Structure formats: structure tokens, C-alpha cells
């Protein structure tokens, strides 16, 4: 190697070392000003930062049963307490397993804390998704969501559509002795949400196209966030573009049809979700498209996961199944032949609500959410530094044995104790201004599904060892295979 080449190698090596050093220094610089003595003598909570840059992220995300807190939280809470510092998702972080701090965070959205999901999530969802949007954009989207949920609930055919889809889904099992329930639950929820949001039938070619892209989208949402052509993440970004294009075409067609309609026929326009959405002037076209995608995501994935968790827990709780059966047979006995379920029937499903709540508490569809501190925040005797990520962990509170007796056990009757479903100890749908606006619609779908399931089938797990795993998203790796038998 000649002198010039050697010099170039040396310069390159020094440059790389300097670059890495600058990354580490700049990344940890926010840690320095508040580690000790900040906030009038307050300190950040105890904890550890783990490896440079990567921190403790891999340990935090290590898969574990969703009805447990996992080894990472167990270890850190025992060593540092329910609130501790860490370094997660490439940033200094305060992790909260404390009910009071979690509630404080949720109730101070856009005041002291702000939604702050990792950038790769924005890459798939888009910056104007209601799940990641902040400030005025989020307020507009949430206001639209509440209006749309309200209009959907008041539609005469809404409940009938759900029940008809339930009957068709369960009816397809008659010739089967074994079904992959996760697949069936997703098929059911996708059929319902596409019909409600876009007015499409399950047999429509557009529905098949959206479903295909949506499955690609979901795989990328939970994949390694590396944009390299051919990776699940890259395919998901492209799938979202295709879904957005399809949805935009549907919206434009509806707008065109409305403009071409004669004034005398204006009152005969479709009174559906999409009609309400296109009439909202406060949302741009891109926001409306993103809103539809958010609705598909919430109505498809999270609702189907809740259904799967309920079927999983009930398979191991025959007493709860019998109580459900008694409740739904009583409701069914009061219906005339061919009469559909109503809102009054839904309100009578009291034990069903307890089952749903307990599955949400035990299964933890949403384990935690991402926030960041907008200023230095004093809480109790410690400080949360401005700019730090904050992770309120719902599952840790849901499974806290000091708050819930026999917390790791599925016991729907615990809800006989008049537990407040919106209290600090139970936050399955988040809280504050970011509480899920469509949670009631999801619970209706699940309740109606259970109404027919418990009256028509008995079931057991084909593989008793299978359990829901948190990645941190919930997954049954083998699809929750169940053996079914008609009653």
C-alpha cells in the first residue's frame, strides 16, 4: 500500500470513528442536563440505558404472553420501581407502569405530552393519520370520527348488517370440525368494516383488491422498518399508496355522483358513512383518504384480535361460556322469528360486557402508547425531561396484582364489583382526547358474534399450548385453531 492510499484509509477510519462518536454524543446529549439536580433538585427516575444508540429496545420488545407483563418489565419494575428510565426506540425514555402517571399522561395530551410514534410508523401510516397526527389536525380528524361513529350507530341497517355477516360467517363452519379462528375473525371484521365505510360487498372485485393490499400493509406495519425494495416494510408503503388510490377513486366517484344528481333526487342520496365523510368540509381529500385507512385498520385488526382473545380465554373457562349461553338464549327467546338484534338487546348483554372487558384487561390488544414530554415535568419526586419519550404501559396496570385480585386469571365475574370501566386501572382504549372513538362499535360486533357463537357451537383449542404473544402487537402464531361442534 503506498503512502497516499494509507493516508486515505487513515482519514476514512478517523472519519468513521468521529461520525460514530458524534452520533453517540448528540444522541445522549439530552440525557445530561436532567440526570441530576434538574427541576429544583428532582432527578429522573432510576433505570438503565443499555447499549449505546440501541439501548434496551430489543429486550423491551422481546415476545412474551400477552396476558403477562414479560420479563423486561418484571425485572425493571422489581429493580427500579413502577416508573423508570430506559433508552428505547433510539431515544431516552421514561417507562410508566404506574396507574396515576399513566392517567396523568393521557389527560394532558397536547398540554404536557404529545403523541410521538417512531418515524417508520409515519412512513406507513402517513403523517396525517389520526393515529399519529397531533394538534389541530388530530382535533379535526377526531371530531370527524365522532360524527361518523354517531351517524353509523343511527343507521337503520347497521346492526342488521353486522348480524347478517355473523350468521354467514358462522354458517360456513357447518361442514367443518376445525377452523383457524384468527382467519375467520379477520374475514368477518373486514367484511363488516368495508361494507360500513365504503359500501362494498365482500364479493366486489374492489373489496378483494383492497384486502390483498391491506394484508400486505399489515405485514409491513409489524416488520423491521427498513425501506429496501422487496422488504415487507417497502411493500407495505407501496400497498398503502395503492389503497389510498383506490379509496380516493371511490370518494371522487361518490362526489361526482352527488353533483350529477338532480335536485329532486338529492334526498334519496345514500345515508351512509362515506356520504357523511365526503360532506365534511373541514377535512382535505388526503385527510379523508387517510381517515378511511385508519377506519379499516381499527375496524379490521384490533376488533378481530379482541374476538380471538375472547374465544381463546373462553375455551379455558367453561363456566363463563355457560353464563354467556344463558344470557343469549334469554335474549333470543324474546325475539320473533327472523327479527334482528337491536340496541336494546345489546344493552341487555351485561355478562357479555364483562367478558369483553376481562379479555381486554387480560389480553391487552394495545400494550402501550408513544408520547413525548413537551416541557420539563415534575411528577411526585422525579422529573420527566423535556423531549424525552414517555411510554405509559397499559398492560402493566391491567395485570398489577395490587390493583386486580388474581390479576393473571381470566375472571369475568370480577366486573360484578362495579369496577369503573374508564378508571385509572382499566384503559384498553387509551384515554383523554386520544381515546378510541370507535370502541363501542367494536364491542357491538363482538357481542353480536358471541350471541350466535355460544348458541350454535361448542369449541376447544386444537393446540392447548398456543397462547397470544405480544411482539408488542398481539399474534397467535398458529392462527388459533379450534375444534368446533354444533350444539
* CB 289 within 8 Å of CB 128: no
| The pLDDT value given to residue 420 | 54
Nearest 5°: CA angle at 40, between 35 and 43? 25
| The pLDDT value given to residue 13 | 40
| The pLDDT value given to residue 15 | 39
Write out residues in the chain with pLDDT < 50, as ranges.
1-27, 29-30, 32-39, 266-268, 421
For the chain, the C-alpha Rg in angstroms (whole number) is 25
The per-residue DSSP string of 75-140 comes to HHHHHH-SEEEEEETTEEEEEE--HHHHHHHHHTBTTTEEE---HHHHHHH-TT-TTT--HHHHHH
- The two counts, helices (H) then strands (E), for the chain are 19, 13
Backbone φ and ψ of 346, nearest 5°: -60, -40
**Which residues make up each annotated binding site for heme?**
436
d(CA 365, CA 44): 30
| The pLDDT value given to residue 52 | 82
Can you tell me whether residue 113 is helix, strand or coil? Answer: strand
* CB 481 within 8 Å of CB 178: yes
Helix (H) or strand (E) holding 84: strand 83-88
| The pLDDT value given to residue 119 | 83
| The pLDDT value given to residue 45 | 96
| The pLDDT value given to residue 295 | 87
**Which residues make up each annotated binding site?**
436
The per-residue DSSP string of 209-236 comes to HHHHHHHHHHHHHTS-----TTSHHHHH
d(CA 162, CA 207): 17
What domains lie within the chain, and their CATH numbers? 38-127+367-427 (3.30.43.20), 132-199+270-366+437-486 (1.10.630.10)
* CB 468 within 8 Å of CB 474: yes
d(CA 341, CA 344): 8
**pTM for the structure as a whole:** 0.88
First to last CA, the chain: 82
d(CA 31, CA 381): 18
Amino acid at each position: 500500500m503506498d503512502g497516499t492510499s494509507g493516508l486515505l484509509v487513515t482519514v476514512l477510519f478517523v472519519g468513521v470513528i468521529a461520525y460514530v462518536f458524534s452520533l453517540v454524543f448528540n444522541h445522549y446529549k439530552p440525557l445530561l442536563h436532567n440526570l441530576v439536580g434538574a427541576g429544583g433538585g428532582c432527578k429522573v427516575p432510576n433505570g438503565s440505558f443499555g447499549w449505546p444508540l440501541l439501548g434496551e429496545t430489543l429486550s423491551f420488545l422481546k415476545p412474551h404472553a400477552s396476558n403477562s407483563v414479560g420479563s423486561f418489565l418484571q425485572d425493571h419494575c422489581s429493580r427500579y420501581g413502577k416508573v423508570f428510565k430506559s433508552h428505547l426506540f433510539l431515544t431516552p425514555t421514561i417507562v410508566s407502569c404506574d396507574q396515576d402517571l399513566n392517567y396523568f399522561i393521557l389527560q394532558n395530551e397536547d398540554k404536557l405530552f404529545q403523541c410521538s410514534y417512531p418515524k417508520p410508523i409515519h412512513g406507513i401510516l402517513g403523517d396525517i393519520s389520526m393515529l399519529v397526527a397531533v394538534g389541530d389536525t388530530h382535533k379535526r380528524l377526531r371530531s370527524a370520527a365522532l360524527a361518523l361513529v354517531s351517524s353509523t350507530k343511527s343507521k337503520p341497517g347497521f346492526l342488521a348488517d353486522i348480524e347478517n355477516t355473523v350468521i354467514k360467517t358462522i354458517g360456513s363452519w357447518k361442514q367443518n370440525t376445525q377452523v383457524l379462528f384468527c382467519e375467520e375473525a379477520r374475514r368477518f371484521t373486514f367484511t363488516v368494516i368495508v361494507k360500513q365505510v365504503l359500501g362494498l360487498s365482500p364479493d366486489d372485485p374492489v373489496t378483494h383488491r383492497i384486502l390483498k393490499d391491506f394484508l400486505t400493509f399489515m405485514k409491513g406495519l409489524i416488520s423491521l422498518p427498513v425501506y429496501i425494495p422487496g422488504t415487507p416494510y417497502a411493500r407495505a408503503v407501496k400497498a398503502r399508496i395503492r389503497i389510498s388510490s383506490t379509496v380516493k377513486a371511490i370518494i371522487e366517484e361518490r362526489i361526482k355522483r352527488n353533483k350529477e344528481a338532480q335536485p329532486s333526487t338529492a334526498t334519496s342520496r345514500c345515508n351512509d358513512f362515506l356520504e357523511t365523510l365526503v360532506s365534511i368540509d373541514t377535512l382535505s381529500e388526503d385527510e379523508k383518504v387517510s381517515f378511511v385507512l385508519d377506519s379499516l385498520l381499527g375496524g379490521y385488526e384490533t376488533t378481530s384480535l379482541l374476538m380471538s382473545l375472547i374465544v381463546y380465554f373462553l375455551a379455558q373457562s367453561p363456566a363463563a361460556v355457560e353464563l354467556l349461553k344463558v344470557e343469549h338464549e334469554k335474549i333470543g327467546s324474546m325475539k320473533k322469528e327472523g327479527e334482528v338484534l337491536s340496541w336494546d338487546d345489546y344493552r341487555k348483554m351485561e355478562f357479555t360486557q364483562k367478558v369483553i372487558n376481562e379479555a381486554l384487561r387480560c389480553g391487552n390488544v394495545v400494550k402501550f402508547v408513544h408520547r413525548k414530554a413537551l416541557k420539563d415535568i415534575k411528577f411526585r419526586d422525579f422529573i420527566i425531561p423535556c423531549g424525552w419519550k414517555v411510554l405509559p404501559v397499559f398492560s402493566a396496570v391491567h395485570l398489577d396484582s395490587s390493583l386486580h385480585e388474581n390479576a393473571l386469571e381470566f375472571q369475568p365475574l370480577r366486573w360484578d364489583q362495579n369496577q369503573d370501566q374508564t378508571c385509572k386501572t382499566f384503559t384498553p382504549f387509551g384515554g383523554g382526547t386520544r381515546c378510541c372513538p370507535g370502541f363501542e362499535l367494536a364491542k357491538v360486533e363482538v357481542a353480536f358474534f358471541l350471541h350466535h357463537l355460544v348458541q350454535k357451537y361448542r369449541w376447544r383449542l386444537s393446540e392447548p399450548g398456543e397462547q397470544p404473544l405480544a411482539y408488542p402487537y398481539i399474534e397467535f402464531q398458529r392462527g388459533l385453531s379450534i375444534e368446533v361442534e354444533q350444539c
